[in-house]
């Protein structure tokens, strides 16, 4: 037979346990609601500032690279197999424009009038001509893995490249570094998913 004091203690424990369970349940519900509503305004502001800093830093690095290399597009990724075996799809090139003259045998990146994507090929012929007292360099290019030169790739009526067409000369070669660019170029859905995932983690601040 239990004493009256023991019976009183047992009765007091039951409400305490119920209150503890109810408190935990409320905390769980509040946590789920917060997760459903998304980050707090403070977290959103911090995430926005973080994203802004990342973009600003990337732009500063890009502008610095442009100034150092004197090329408007200092980094390119090889998108085709026309320069194999020396250069393969997914290889990354760093370009420079430190000197004006371009010699036979150099690997260059050039723009074709009317096309958005630049081409990475090698100079196989070059000569100069005097235009208004200025020596202008004319160049013919060809892919190492191609049978014919690039005249068929140039704009209609164009048989030579000029220095204005040259984006830069390759001086640093990093194999396979640009594979991610190839995947995004070949599979647009992969690009969208990757950007969505990166954007989600930057905005939410989740690791």
Structural contact between residues 170 and 73, judged by C-beta atoms closer than 8 angstroms:
no
Reduce the DSSP state of residue 83 to 3 states and report it: coil
Nearest C-alpha neighbor of 186 from the set 54, 89, 92? 89
Catalytic, 47? Answer no
Set 121, 149, 165, 176: catalytic member:
121
Reduce the DSSP state of residue 105 to 3 states and report it: coil
Strands (E), the chain: 75-77, 92-96, 107-110, 119-131, 134-142, 166-174
Set 71, 82, 91, 165: catalytic member:
82
Nearest C-alpha neighbor of 107 from the set 97, 89, 93, 122? 122
Catalytic, 121? Answer yes
Q: Tell me the helix, strand and coil percentages in the chain, rounded to 5.
A: 45, 20, 35
Catalytic, 71? Answer no
Set 71, 91, 150, 165: catalytic member:
150
Q: Known catalytic residues?
A: 82, 121, 150
């Amino acid at each position: 037979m239990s004493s009256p004091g023991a019976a009183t203690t047992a009765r007091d424990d039951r409400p305490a346990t119920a209150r503890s369970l109810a408190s935990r349940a409320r905390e769980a519900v509040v946590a789920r609601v917060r997760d459903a509503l998304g980050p707090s305004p403070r977290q959103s502001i911090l995430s926005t500032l973080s994203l802004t800093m990342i973009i600003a830093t990337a732009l500063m690095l890009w502008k610095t690279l442009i100034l150092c290399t004197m090329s408007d597009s200092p980094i390119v990724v090889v998108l085709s197999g026309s320069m194999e075996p020396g250069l393969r799809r997914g290889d990354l090139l760093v370009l420079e424009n430190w000197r004006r003259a371009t010699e036979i045998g150099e690997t260059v990146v050039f723009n074709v009038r009317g096309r958005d994507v630049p081409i990475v090929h090698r100079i196989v012929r070059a000569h100069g001509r005097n235009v208004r007292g200025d020596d202008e360099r004319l160049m013919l290019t060809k892919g190492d893995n191609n049978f014919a030169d690039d005249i068929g790739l140039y704009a209609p009526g164009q048989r030579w490249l000029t220095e204005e067409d040259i984006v830069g000369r390759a001086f640093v070669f990093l194999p396979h570094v640009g594979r991610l660019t190839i995947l995004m170029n070949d599979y647009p859905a992969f690009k969208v998913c990757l950007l969505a995932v990166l954007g989600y983690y930057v905005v939410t601040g989740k690791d």
